Amino acid sequence: MPVASAQLKSALILAGLYAQGKTIITEPKSSRNHTELMINGFGGNISSEMNKIIVNPVEELFGHEITVPGDISSAAFFIVAALIVPNSEVLIKNVGLNETRTGIIDVLKAMGASIEIIETGDRIEPAGDLIIKSSSLHGVEIGGDLIPRLIDELPVIAVAAAFAEGRTIIKDAEELKVKESNRIDAMETELKKAGVEVQATEDGLVIKGGKEVHGASFETYHDHRIAMSMAVLAQAAEGTSRIENHQCINISYPNFFETLLSMQKI
């Protein structure tokens, strides 16, 4: 495959289940493996070697009861909010901890984040509880094989970088240009409104954090992750912020603001 795409890979895997003989899919980098885990849980025969996925045909699959953990891409906004709002402590229960999705935890820990993981068992999908405490963050470099493991979380990671001391470099993330919006340009524009020193590059962002961040009127570009990221920034920014055209959040998290407000009341 020309790019690491879990969606494209999953379509090929599903076709390969009932194809004649073995199907081998090669990716440039490893992508999310939810489909492989789920099908093997149903009795499939899929294995991985480096960046190759080997799909063996099956006679029959068998369904059973499944517990679906919480989405770490949705939890990411509250993880970052807890880290950048002073004197915060948040418990997020039953979060999916699939290693192909936990790049954000690895990066935030490298930035100095206090994140405690309490694993709750290894089912088809590993999961656990997270305890996050506000932390003094510092800049890091993010790129390479990490990118497919946190591509959707990069906008809110950029928010964390705005409150981190020093420089954060995000690279190898050209895919951000072809999401619901061009997230590289969108985050550069919106972070600058908040007084953040940030520069877009061909494949990412360079953010110099640690300075005062102030509220502003933020545009969402009809992109749910941009909208939620700027709402998280607003929690720790000086002054009032306004999120324009925030209805796009309903695409993935209809009760996002309700959850955010409930955290503030605890």
In the DSSP assignment, the letter for residue 26 is E
Interatomic CA distance for residues 224 and 55, integer angstroms: 34
In the DSSP assignment, the letter for residue 251 is G
Q: Is the pLDDT of residue 49 over 70?
A: yes
Q: 27: helix, coil or strand?
A: coil
- Residue 119 has what pLDDT? 82
pLDDT band for position 265 (50/70/90)?
A: low
* Closest among 56, 52, 5 to 26, alpha carbons compared: 52
Q: Is the pLDDT of residue 257 over 70?
A: yes
pLDDT band for position 50 (50/70/90)?
A: confident
Q: What is the mean pLDDT of the chain?
A: 94
173-213 pLDDT, tens digit per residue, is: 999 998 999 999 999 999 999 999 999 999 999 999 999 99
Determine phi and psi for 64, rounding to 5 degrees.
-160, 175
Q: Is the pLDDT of residue 122 over 80?
A: no
Interatomic CA distance for residues 233 and 263, integer angstroms: 15
209-256 pLDDT, tens digit per residue, is: 999 999 999 999 999 999 999 999 999 999 999 999 999 999 999 999
Determine phi and psi for 36, rounding to 5 degrees.
-60, -45
- Residue 212 has what pLDDT? 95
**Helical (H) or strand (E) element with 47:** strand 45-49
58-82 pLDDT, tens digit per residue, is: 888 998 888 889 999 999 999 999 9
pLDDT band for position 90 (50/70/90)?
A: very high
Joined together, the tokens standing for residue 141 give 């470099």
Q: 87: helix, coil or strand?
A: coil
Q: Is the pLDDT of residue 51 over 60?
A: yes
Instruction: Report the share of the chain in percent with pLDDT over 90.
Output: 83
In the DSSP assignment, the letter for residue 145 is G
- Residue 130 has what pLDDT? 97
- Residue 154 has what pLDDT? 97
28-45 pLDDT, tens digit per residue, is: 888 889 999 999 999 999
Q: Is the pLDDT of residue 97 over 60?
A: yes
Q: Is 185 a catalytic residue?
A: no
Mean pLDDT of 119-133: 88
Candidates 106, 129, 152, 223; catalytic one: 152
